[in-house]
Amino acid sequence: MVIECSRCHAVFSLQEGAVAAAEAPFSVECGRCHAVFEVAAPQAAAASPAPDVPVAPAVVAVDPPELPLVQTGVAEPEAPGPITSVAADRASRARWPVLLGILALASVAGIALHRRERVRELDEKVRQGREKMFLDDTRSLEDATRLFTEAARSAPGRALPEAERAFSLLLRAAAHKDLYERVPAPERDEEGRAAARLLQQGAAAARQAFAEDKDDVAALRAMAFAEAIAGTADRAVAHADQAERAAPRDAWVLYAKAAAAKANRAHEKAVQGLSEARQIEPRLLRADVDLADISLDRGDPAGARQLLERVLRRNPQHERARRILSLIPPEAGYRPPQGGN
């Protein structure tokens, strides 16, 4: 039997046998609020079905759905399908000609830049060597030869640097040859050996430059100068004339022409050529020294002294001018320098 507390409405269950035996109202104490109340025993015929005991709703535990793991790194791309792979291969193959073209252009540009730099360095060495030749002393001429040699090695097969190297060697050879003819006998052997050695080297370099380019002005004047020193005047004059036609205002061409004229015993032409060369290029000290030589040969030591002293004022290191000046007797009609160049 199910009873309900009249106070707290708690529901209790009594054994059916105990309730049926009572057959009369009886007192019941609520086990929850301890209230005492009477309960009448139910009639057997009118027994009503026991009320439904409220049942707590069943709780079904549902596991939460598993969430997909989130990757913290960069997801790898899915492998392309066949169509994407073919397109990528075609694009890759199409890029190769472009890359090769860029590399080829870069190589050509690099080679051109390197050549331009080499030409610039070569021209600078030639320029410095020519500046040294104007000074005309032994040390300067040796430096010029070294610069021209470096330029010739950096540009094999080019006539210009080899021709200038030949000319610087020949300038030294001519200076030693001139001193050989003027110094006392005990000093001649040394001057003669130096002249022969330098003439051999200079003539060989001149021939090489001429073989590389028979129309090169520097090669032509080097050939003319070598032949003038060696005494082959006719060939020297021919090469000097050819060089002058190519470069009529070149001071060193005019100097080589004067040397060829002197070798041909045309002293007036030699003086004319040296004077014109000095007028075009006042720094050409060699022209003044050679004019002093001609003045001495003509019996004008005073004029020679004046020229040599002017050279020494401009370059105190000029050994040849100093040596020739020391050979002029003090009593040989000395005239004081007039000043100027």
Same domain, 126 and 226: yes
Same domain, 165 and 18: no
Model pLDDT, residue 42: 61
Rounded Cα distance between 251 and 331, Å, is 35
Domain tally for the chain?
Answer: 2
Written as six digits, the tokens of 99 are 């890359």
Model pLDDT, residue 337: 45
Sign of CA dihedral 107, 109, 112, 118: negative
Residue 100 has pLDDT above 90, yes or no: no
DSSP characters for 16-36? HHHHHHH-S-EEEE-TTT--E
Q: In this predicted structure, which of 24-33, 56-65, 263-272, 281-290 has the lowest mean pLDDT?
A: 56-65
pLDDT digits (tens, 9 = 90+) for 7-66: 777 776 666 655 555 556 667 677 777 777 676 666 544 444 444 444 444 333 444 445
Q: 304 in a domain, yes or no?
A: yes
Same domain, 280 and 147: yes
Q: 238 in a domain, yes or no?
A: yes
Q: 312 forms bridges with which residues in the sheet?
A: none
Instruction: Indicate the residue type of 27.
Output: S
Mean pLDDT, range 282-305, rounded to an integer: 96
Q: Domain holding 121: CATH number?
A: 1.25.40.10
Model pLDDT, residue 260: 97
**Parent domain of 309:** 116-327
Mean pLDDT, range 199-210, rounded to an integer: 98
> Sorting pLDDT into bands at 50, 70 and 90, what band is 161?
very high
Residue 70 has pLDDT above 60, yes or no: no
pTM above 0.95, yes or no: no
Same domain, 11 and 135: no
Would you state the torsion angle of the CA atoms of residues 212, 214, 217, 219, taken in this order, to the nearest 10 degrees? 50
